[in-house]
Structure 1
Amino acid sequence: MSGLRVLGIDPGLTRCGVGVVDVARDRSARLVHVGVVRSSPDEQPGMRLARIAAGIREVLDAHRPDVVAVERVFAQQNRSTVMGTAQASGVALMLAAERGLPTATHTPSEVKAAITGYGSADKLQVQTMVARVLRLDALPQPADAADALAIALCHAWRGGPVAAGAPERALTPAQRAWAEAEKRSRR
C-alpha cells in the first residue's frame, strides 16, 4: 500500500497504547500493528519510562513508520496521572526525533472528531469506528490500543506529516491555533 505509515501513540505510564497503520492516498487504511507497552506502578519512575521507551523502540524498529503522532497531553484532575502521561509523551517524541521522524500531537477531541465526526464521542464509539475503518473482526482492546490507532488515523487524514517548519496550510485549524499559542509563549 503506497501512502503513509503512521505510528500513533496514546501515552501513559502504566499503559502506553501503540498502533501502526498504513493509509493510502484514498484514505483507506490497513492495520500493521497494535499493542500496549506496560510498566508496573510498583517500579521507580525512571525504570517505568525505560520500559515505555524500550517498547516504543521495538515498534519503531520493527515497523519503520514515516511519522509519529502522539495524543496531546491535556489537563486532568489527577496530577500524578497527567505527569506520567506527559513523561511518556516526551519519551515518544524524543525517540521519534532521534530517528529524524516528523512528529505531531493531536488533542483527544480532534482525534474523536476525525474518527467519529463528533469531538465528544465516547471510548466505545471510537473503538467501533476504528474497527470499521480497519476492517477488524473485533474491537481493538484495550481502549489504549484503540486510541493509538485512532491517533494514527487522525494524523493521516488531517494532512499527513507535520514537523517544525511545515507549511501552515498543512495544519488543521486546531494545530494552527496551538502553534500560534506556542509561538506567543516563547516571546
Structure 2
Amino acid sequence: MAIDINLLPQLGKEKEKRKKLLVILNFSAIGLLVLTLLILIGAFFYKSIVEKGYENIQKESATQKALLKQYESVEIQLSEVKQRVGKVQSILDSRKEYLNLLSNLEKITPRKIIYNSLTVDDDDLVSLTGNCPSYDELFGFLKALSGEWEQLGLTQPADSEVLFTKVELTSVGRNESTYDITFSVNFTAEEGAYNAQ
C-alpha cells in the first residue's frame, strides 16, 4: 500500500518561512547599517567638536602664556624700579642726614664765621676750614662745638644732646690781605648731629 504524502504544503510553508526570515534579515541588516552610519556620523561630529575645543584651548593657552610672559616682564621691571627707588631713597636719606648736620652746625656757628670747605668721611670725622674776623668769634665757635655752653654765657637746653665731640683746632693763621683769621678744625659728628633738632 502506498501512502501518499503531500510534502508540497510543508515545502511552501518552509519557503514562506525563509522568505520572512530573509525579509527580517534584510531589515535587520539595513537597520544595522543605518545604526552603524549614525554611530559613525555621531563619532565624526564628536571628533570635530573635540578638535575645535582642543584648538580653542590651545589658542587660549597661547594667550595665557603671552600674558604670563608680560606679567613676568612687568614683575622684573617692578623689581628693578624697587631697587632703583631703594638706591634713590638711600641717597636721599644720606643727603637729608648731611642737611641736618649742616643745620645743626649752623645753629651754633656765629654769623661772622664763613665756611670755606667742609668734608665728612666714613668715620664721621668732619674737617672744616673757614675764616672769621676775630679770634673771639673763632673761640666762641670752638666752645659751642665742644658743648661748653656755660663758658659762652649760655644755658644748654635740658633736652639737647652732645652733637660734636673730639673738637681739635688743627691750624690757625691770618690772611695778610683781608686780615681775617683762617682756621681748620676737625671734630667728630655724633649720631644726633645727623638728626633734625
TM-score of Structure 1 vs Structure 2, range by shorter chain: under 0.3
Between Structure 1 and Structure 2, the one with more helix by share is 2
Question: Whose RCO is larger (CA < 8 A, sep 6+)?
Answer: 1
TM-score by length of 1: 0.25
Structure with max Cα Rg: 2
